[in-house]
Amino acid sequence: MDLSLLFAGTGGAVPTAGRGLPATLVRRGADALLFDCGEGTQRQLVRSTGLPDLQRVFLTHFHADHWLGLPGMLKSFALRDRDAPLVLHGPPGLRDLIGRMGFVIGRLPYRMTIEELEPGQAVVLDGYEVVPFVVDHRVRAYGYAIVEPDRPGRFDADRARELGVAPGPDFGRLQRGEAVGDVTPGQVMGEARRGRKVVLSGDTAPCEMVRVAAHDADVLVHEATFLDEEAERAAETRHSTARQAAELAAEAQVGTLVLTHVSPRHPGGAIRDEARAAFPRTEVPRDLDVLEVPFPEKGRPELRRWEPPPSGSRPAAAPAAGP
Amino acid sequence: MDLSLLFAGTGGAVPTAGRGLPATLVRRGADALLFDCGEGTQRQLVRSTGLPDLQRVFLTHFHADHWLGLPGMLKSFALRDRDAPLVLHGPPGLRDLIGRMGFVIGRLPYRMTIEELEPGQAVVLDGYEVVPFVVDHRVRAYGYAIVEPDRPGRFDADRARELGVAPGPDFGRLQRGEAVGDVTPGQVMGEARRGRKVVLSGDTAPCEMVRVAAHDADVLVHEATFLDEEAERAAETRHSTARQAAELAAEAQVGTLVLTHVSPRHPGGAIRDEARAAFPRTEVPRDLDVLEVPFPEKGRPELRRWEPPPSGSRPAAAPAAGP
């Protein structure tokens, strides 16, 4: 089952030429979930994967740089005659926010449901769940953990045959955890294999809840608005420095740390270098980069750089557009 | 006095990879006026000129694709500690719109004034004015004419001397239209020279008001959402086809026609070809292209193509951003 993260906007507060406002597209199999939707997100998606028929949008909090792209995207879905239902999730207050924007959103030809989530209230999806947890920001804000259950171990068919079990229904019984005669599942099934865990911090000061939620995660996407030299400003605004995020990643023993929400004042290189000093397996994606997250036994997550179209051309319909 | 138009967003309704949502930056000398402000406009400006300290924003109407970029831009100005005042103009209803978005915009450190305009109510600026006029769209919508007064003709100093006028205060009198002895201004002043006129149609079906307002304009920026084959749909939605815009430009005897608000369904080439058949001096800019509008006696407007940064690099801070 493929699992990937597309970093549609890696900046914070104010967009720069290189970094759009916060949005992360998580794809798992045919599912497409969007976490935050800053202004310009729909165009970022159009530029890369094309605007996908998202099933769900999760907002971390209601600062405008995290959701101002949502009304326009909802309208664009409508203009495309979408009819698949869409679910919006977020902290309490989401219903009020969408209500206030109702005059913009207007009538939609698809069913849009608003589900405010309490901390810990898992959204159970097909083969995984998304769990919100409270983080430490200036307003009520959530991080989200995307968690797969452990998978059963591998079935050793050769060993089962050696033990006298005939291929067929008895193999199935063993795989479902039932004994067959004297043969127990433990004799022929390997150890349970870990599911994957991807955690997104949203906007937050370094905090215990992220540390706990991210324990042993394959990927922690953490904000890194500031550098260490601005630690005081980070504390005032309840954001994190690159070093704080990296130290937290080390303590939580995550596999890969991904830093986003980079301030317009900082080139990603300084953020990355500061973080890698404390946690070497740190990535600072640029907009539209994709992180593939394989099952743990298949290898480490890898960042695939987005390739802009060749110089002289424009993305999409461009060659036809100019004289 | 330089006058230019930067086409920050040349699409309509839904952004594409190549075309952002409507926004046109008009610069005249030190003035920077923005006409419409679709989602993503602030980033388009950051990518090209940098976010300018606009003095005024003019909205043509309140369909969301024409203004959803405004709240975020107002907030970005605030985050940059702007203190220069800003004036928002638009049709009646503007105050209500900004009021509804007040919970997003929040407190601003600069003075923002809202001035709803009646049709024909000129905004008089230093050396030119901006005049709204009613167009024909599904909701009340304005176009805007940017108009410079005629300039006095050139003063012929040699001729004045020949007629016995001494250089000095008497030259000034003649230039201000006063006679000096027997010598009248008409003997030493050339013909009055036309000021420039740039007209923006906003969203509209082809209509008489645009035709009148654009009469003899140096530049008419007209919407061309559709092609001729979709004339029925254009009429239903109160938009224009490329051919309609071109025919109108020919009738209004404009200098240069610029087509924007191109539907995501059409490559600009088809729009351009259809229009040029009826009006050869048609341009279909791509996003971030700039049209320089010289005084009529200095030549025709010229479209300067935006050059994307070289392949392999990213716009701005990019080289530092990658590992």
- For chain B, the three-class secondary structure string (H helix, E strand, C coil) is CCEEEEEEECECCCCCCCCCCCEEEEEECCEEEEECCCCCHHHHHHHCCCCCCCCEEECCCCCHHHCCCHHHHHHHHHHCCCCCCEEEEECCCHHHHHHHCHHHHCCCCCCEEEEECCCCCCEEECCEEEEEEECCCCCCCEEEEEECCCECCCECHHHHHHCCCCCCHHHHHHHCCCCECCECHHHHECCCECCCEEEECCCCCCCHHHHHHCCCCCEEEEECCECHHHHHHHHHHCCCEHHHHHHHHHHCCCCEEEEECECCCCCHHHHHHHHHHHCCCEECCCCCCEEECCCHHHCCCEEECCCCCCCCCCCCCHHHHCC
Structure confidence at residue B291 (pLDDT): 98
C-alpha to C-alpha distance for B58 and B24, rounded to whole angstroms: 10
Nearest CA in chain B to A314: B18
Instruction: Judge whether A304 is closer than 8 Å to chain B, CB to CB.
Output: no
Structural domains in chain B, CATH included, are 3-151+193-319 (3.60.15.10), 154-192 (no CATH)
What is the residue-wise DSSP string for A247-272? Answer: HHHHHTT-SEEEEE-B-TTS-HHHHH
C-alpha to C-alpha distance for A126 and B148, rounded to whole angstroms: 64
Nearest CA in chain A to B9: A43
- What was the ipTM of the complex prediction? 0.87
C-alpha to C-alpha distance for B132 and A74, rounded to whole angstroms: 31
- DSSP type of residue A126: T
CB-based contact A18 B305, cutoff 8 Å? no
Q: Which of B39, B65, B76 sits opposite A40 (nearest CB)?
A: B39
When mean pLDDT is compared across A2-16, A301-315, B116-130, B188-202, the lowest value belongs to: A301-315
pLDDT in 10s for each residue of chain B, 323 residues = 999 999 999 999 899 999 999 999 999 999 999 999 999 999 999 999 889 989 999 999 999 999 999 999 999 999 999 999 999 999 999 999 999 999 999 999 999 999 999 999 999 999 999 999 999 999 999 999 999 999 888 899 999 999 999 999 999 999 988 999 999 999 999 988 999 999 999 999 999 999 999 999 999 999 999 999 999 999 999 999 999 999 999 999 999 999 999 988 887 799 999 999 999 999 999 999 999 999 998 999 999 999 876 654 444 433 332 22
- pLDDT for A87-114, tens place per residue? 999 999 999 999 999 999 999 999 999 9
> Would you tell me which residues 156-185 of chain B have a C-beta closer than 8 angstroms to some C-beta of chain A?
none
The beta strand positions in chain A, using DSSP E, are: 3-9, 23-28, 31-35, 56-58, 86-90, 112-116, 123-125, 128-134, 142-147, 197-200, 219-223, 256-260, 282-283, 290-292, 302-304
Residues of A noted as catalytic: 65
Residues whose CB falls within 8 Å of the CB of residue A191, separated by 6 or more in sequence, listed in order: A153
C-alpha to C-alpha distance for A149 and A197, rounded to whole angstroms: 9
Minimal CA separation from B309 to chain A, in Å: 8
C-alpha to C-alpha distance for B1 and B20, rounded to whole angstroms: 29
Nearest CA in chain B to A321: B268
Q: Calculate helix-pair angle for B242-251, B268-278, nearest 10 degrees.
A: 30
C-alpha to C-alpha distance for A294 and A289, rounded to whole angstroms: 16
HSE-up of residue A92 (Cα within 13 Å, Cβ side): 4
Residue A314 pLDDT > 60: no
Q: How far is CA A218 from the centre of its chain?
A: 12
Pick among A10, A37, A39 to test the B interface (most B CBs inside 10 A): A39
Instruction: Judge whether A261 is closer than 8 Å to chain B, CB to CB.
Output: no
Q: Indicate the helix (H) or strand (E) that contains A70.
A: helix A70-79
CB-based contact B68 A64, cutoff 8 Å? no
Quickly count: other Cβ atoms within 10 Å of residue A99's Cβ.
11
Encoded amino acid at A250, one letter: A
> Would you tell me which residues 32-71 of chain B have a C-beta closer than 8 angstroms to some C-beta of chain A?
39-40, 42-43, 46-47, 64-65, 68-69, 71
Instruction: Tell me which chain A residues have a C-beta less than 8 angstroms from the C-beta of B288.
Output: none
CB-based contact A18 B316, cutoff 8 Å? yes
Q: Which of A40, A268, A314 sits opposite B321 (nearest CB)?
A: A268
C-alpha to C-alpha distance for B198 and B145, rounded to whole angstroms: 6
Collapsing DSSP states into helix, strand and coil, what is residue A155? Answer: strand
pLDDT mean over A28-51: 96
Size of chain B in residues: 323
Sheet with A31-35, strands from edge to edge, namely: A112-116, A86-90, A56-58, A31-35, A23-28, A3-9, A290-292, A302-304
C-alpha to C-alpha distance for A122 and A145, rounded to whole angstroms: 9
Collapsing DSSP states into helix, strand and coil, what is residue A241? Answer: strand
Nearest CA in chain B to A323: B269
In degrees rounded to 5, what are phi and psi of residue A298?
-95, -5
Catalytic-labelled residue, pool B65, B136, B218, B287 = B65
Instruction: Tell me which chain A residues have a C-beta less than 8 angstroms from the C-beta of B65.
Output: 72, 75
- pLDDT for A113-140, tens place per residue? 999 999 999 999 999 999 999 999 999 9
Among A113, A107, A102, A137, which residue's Cα sits nearest to residue A238?
Answer: A137
Q: Supply B105's token pair.
A: 């915009």
Structure confidence at residue A321 (pLDDT): 29
